[in-house]
Amino acid sequence: MPLVEVSNLVKHFLVRGGVFNRVLRQVHAVNGVSFAIEKGKILGVVGESGCGKSTLGKLIVRLLDMTAGKVQFRGQDISHLSASELMSVRRKMQMIFQDPHASLNPRMTVGAAVREVVAFHKIVPKREIRDEVDALFAKVGIHTDSQEKYPHEFSGGQKQRVGIARSLAVNPEFIIADEPVSALDVSIQAQVLNLLMDLKDEFDLTMLFISHDLKVIDHFCDSVLVMYLGFVLEELPCRDIQADALHPYTKALLGANPVADPTQRHELTVLAGEVPSPYDLPRGCPFAARCELVTNQCRQEMPPLVEKESGHRVACWEV
């Protein structure tokens, strides 16, 4: 049984206005997303900005309420649990946010921020809280003497390590990492990714790793979910994404990646056209207006997500 299972998840944001605050239109942020994550695995989610990646993560941990669909954790449907019922589940599902500075209280020392979590969830007896937090900071590479400093006194990488320590404080089983290295210098990104990998092995964590960088996904994850305009267009294992990718959009993302070896240059992939408006979704495949393989069927019918082989699903009429 998967640790996390998502079925036909939908999220529409209502846009209101006018004298009577009526609903004027809807933002179709997430559109029928389904997947499962086995215990101990890392599923990557990749796509352009605005494709619904972060919204998907927040829906899973119930930071946002879903419009439709179902989220199961350990076989339990958590889609409509009350705030009090969610408390025990929240201890097992944590989130690392994209902006480490915005996720920390500027008026609270970093040590106090983590001690507050440990105390609230009664992780250890009161007299052992400081020792527990010392151990957490040591695991993420922050000196214990730094606990009484405020967030503005840390670098971006250090603040992200504090955010990771806070997520680990409740002994979670599942972590959603929402672009945890995108706001960091390139020199720091590898350090944080290696730290996450070490902690994943040490604590036997299951993860949903959100990123816009397929190279990071390929290095870090077991499989990847490719999203476009709130839809899943492809899911495939991270064995050899470059060779295995079937969907034209996935191939376009790969073609836009810079190459590590300058002698292996290739022509840069530039997609024509614009991303359709999430206020007014097109009929048929959402990628049809930018796809070089487009047919009339693509413009009229949304292709189903079909399993081509074990663990590899594609939503395309032409592959």
pLDDT at 234 over 90: yes
177 SS3 class: strand
The model's pLDDT over 277-300, given as tens digits with 9 standing for 90+, comes to: 899 898 999 999 899 899 999 999
For residues 42 and 222, the answer to whether their CB atoms sit within 8 Å is yes
For the stretch 109-122, what's the b/e string if a residue is b when 16 or more beta carbons lie within 10 angstroms of its beta carbon? bbbebbbbbbbeee
The structure tokens 């179902």 sit at 70
Residue 306 has pLDDT above 70, yes or no: yes
How far is the C-alpha of 308 from the C-alpha of 319, rounded, in Å? 9
Query: Residue 260: its pLDDT value, please?
Result: 64
What confidence category does residue 242 fall into, taking pLDDT thresholds of 50, 70 and 90? confident
> Cα-Cα-Cα-Cα dihedral of 75, 312, 173, 62, to 10°?
-70
Q: Tens digit of pLDDT for each residue in 125-137?
A: 999 999 999 999 9
Residue of 14, 90, 16, 25 lying closest to 58 (CA atoms): 90
- CA–CA separation, 95 vs 301, rounded Å? 36
Per-residue model confidence (pLDDT) at position 235: 96
| Average pLDDT value over all residues in the chain | 90
pLDDT value of position 264: 66
| Rounded CA separation 229/257 (Å) | 20
Q: With 80 as the cut, is the pLDDT of residue 228 above it? A: yes
List domains and CATH numbers for the chain: 4-314 (3.40.50.300)
Alpha carbon distances (Å) from 241 to 10, 246, 255: 27, 9, 12
Residue 261: per-residue pLDDT: 65
Helix (H) or strand (E) holding 25: strand 22-37
Task: Provide the 8-state DSSP code for 128.
Answer: G
Q: Other C-beta atoms within 10 Å of 107: how many?
A: 8
Residue 28 DSSP class: E
